[in-house]
Chains A and B, each alone.
Chain A
Amino acid sequence: MDKVRQVSVFSENKPGRIQKITGIFGEEGINILAISITSTNGFGIIKLLVDKCDLAYEKLKEHGFTVKLSEVLAIEMKDSPGGLHEVSQILSDKGINIENAYVYVVESRARAYLLVEVKDIEKAREILAGSNLNFFRHEDF
């Protein structure tokens, strides 16, 4: 099971914030694979799965953003009807609660990853080790 890290960025909910981030990524040649945005009461957290997460972290920090790197589970699923159901069925059978999730599509209509945040990632990894789930492979970047 390869470790996958996401970049979380604090942002006020106002025009131009995403554009600032994508501008930095464009300059540094960082590719965004998946993005999730949650907001409440005027602020939000942007979560990004990128190909060069350490570089993204450094550059965002340099530009004054409040950033954090954290680990997520990247579970392979079929990009076809029933794909997410299969994965979520296994997670629920194993008693794993999804705190937050978003999707990275690798090959449209063929293969995608469900990026899952859980409370205790080490424990989740142990529990899922014996399951017939496939996890992220680095060559997919």
Chain B
Amino acid sequence: MIWNKQAECMPAHELKSLQLERLRETVRLAGENVPHYKKQFADMKLKPSSITSLNDISKLPFTSKTDLRDGFPFGMFAVPQSDIVEIHTSSGTTGKPIVVGYTRSDIDLWGEVMARCLSMAGTTRDDIIQNGYGYGLFTGGLGVHYGAQKIGATVVPISAGNTKRQIEIMRDLGTTIITCTPSYALYLAESAEEEGLLPRKKIKLRAGCFGAEMWTEKMRDEIESRFKIMALNIYGLTELIGPGVANECEHKNGLHIFEDYFYPEVISPETLQTLPEGETGELVLTTLSRVGTPMIRFRTRDITSLHREPCKCGRTVVRMARITGRSDDMIKVRGVLIFPSQIERALLEIKDVEPQYQIVITRPHHLDELEVQVELSKKMFSDEIRHIEEFRRKIEDNIERTINLRVKVSLVEPKSLPRSEGKAKRVIDKREI
């Protein structure tokens, strides 16, 4: 089902001219009002008026997560705070989050793109959407919420977690559409099986949009066969808007990017040159109609490729391949972005702890588990086990405070973790996804 045929099936030349018009407006808005871009454009002697074709986008500077962090809290805003109606944040590298702001029109835009995503899963006003993305500063929950409301579907804002209640709601309210992370979907399937709801009894689930973490075709097969539903891949990021940048249609042949609002490029993370269509590299996105926090050439660090061959669904917008990795050391655990450096900082804040650690990520029972192995230092050692245990708990608590995620801390013997001469291998990802 296509929510907005005019936008999603627009002929290429029309789309290009709309994109150029909106790009020029975005560059003007950012150059005039966003302190970060104002300074950057001035340093580069770049005049917004010099953008006269879509190819000129390569003249524009990249924006990184660091730029957003440096602008904390309102340095990336293009309008006065009084025009902002909502704020979301996502984690940054040094504890300070990055902040994005939405004007009334940005919220409308968000609802529009999310309505397109949910429509791809066949959602209509007759559906009941169980929204298992977290509500709060995380964009997942409210993004889906706005899209569901735009369609007029019935949204159940259950948020993430509380598996038992999720299953009850699914059964008692007769949920037809579900939105959550793919790993949580599998976890729900397991619980539903235990409760005797699967294989399909007493549930009406038909489809779901799953995202906020990396997943695979194998996981899709499993979600689809266990729930007997259609499982679609959704993509988005806080810096751009949240979920709703792209979504798969029923042909599951890559994620359609809503190009009238987000301009995609794929670059080589080494040379920073734009790559030809079809080649794999880092996705770079520019917002075309965001007013609160316009984003120019944001480096997503996500690895993908773009494809323009016609899709059977009739949409003309470009498709991006499933994300296969990242071009930095950031890790995503249960939808939360984490830099190993954040964990290191949390460790070193505790007296007598030395920076000898390793992060091990596993996915037992479909949910990510993060273990931080820390070498015991001489000063931490005591012949009383409770003193050592206190250290362990203190480290756990401090990491949780820093990354907002409970992790397991294991103390290991001194010099037992592998040492390397170059860049230390801090992250061992054992997830089989």
Contacts and interface: CB of A to CB of B under 8 A. Distances in A.
B416 A12 contact: yes
A66 B376 contact: yes
Interface string B388-427: 1100100000000000000000111111100000000000
B385 interface: yes
Nearest to A72: B383
Contacts of A42: 410-411
Interface of B: 376, 378, 381-385, 388-389, 392, 410-416
A38 interface: yes
Given A10-B376, A66-B376, A66-B378, A40 B385 contact: yes
5 contacts: A12-B411, A12-B412, A42-B411, A45-B385, A47-B383
A68 B388 CA distance: 13
A66 B410 contact: no
B388 A43 contact: yes
Nearest to A11: B413
Interface string A27-44: 000000000001111111
B354 to A, nearest CB: 12
A137 B392 CA distance: 39
B30 to A, nearest CB: 50
A35 B388 CA distance: 20
Given A10-B376, A40-B389, A41-B392, A66 B384 contact: no
A81 interface: no
Interface string A42-54: 1111010000000
A10 B384 CA distance: 10
Interface string A4-37: 0010101110000000000000000000000000
Contacts of B388: 10, 43, 45
A64 B416 CA distance: 9
Nearest to B396: A41
Interface in A93-128: 99-100, 117
A83 B389 CA distance: 33
B383 A70 contact: yes
A70 B412 CA distance: 22
A10 B413 contact: yes
A12 B415 CA distance: 12
B411 A68 contact: no
What is the size category of the interface that chain A forms with chain B? 20 to 34
Given A12-B416, A39-B385, 13 more contacts: A6-B383, A12-B412, A12-B413, A40-B385, A42-B410, A45-B383, A45-B385, A45-B388, A64-B413, A64-B414, A66-B381, A66-B413, A68-B382
Nearest to A70: B383
A64 B411 contact: no
Nearest to A9: B383
Nearest to A43: B411
Nearest to B416: A12
B385 to A, nearest CB: 5
A39 B383 CA distance: 12
Contacts of A41: 389, 392, 410-411
Contacts of B382: 68
Contacts of A44: 385
A6 to B, nearest CB: 8
Contacts of A43: 376, 388, 392, 410-412
A99 B384 contact: yes
Given A41-B389, A66-B376, A66-B378, A8 B383 contact: yes
A10 B392 CA distance: 14
| Shortest 6 CB-CB contacts between residues of A and residues of B | A8-B383, A42-B410, A43-B411, A66-B381, A68-B383, A38-B385
Contacts of B414: 64, 66
Nearest to B410: A42
A45 B413 CA distance: 11
A100 B384 CA distance: 9
Contacts of A99: 384
A58 B119 CA distance: 71
A40 B411 CA distance: 10
Nearest to B378: A66
Nearest to A42: B410
Contacts of A65: 413
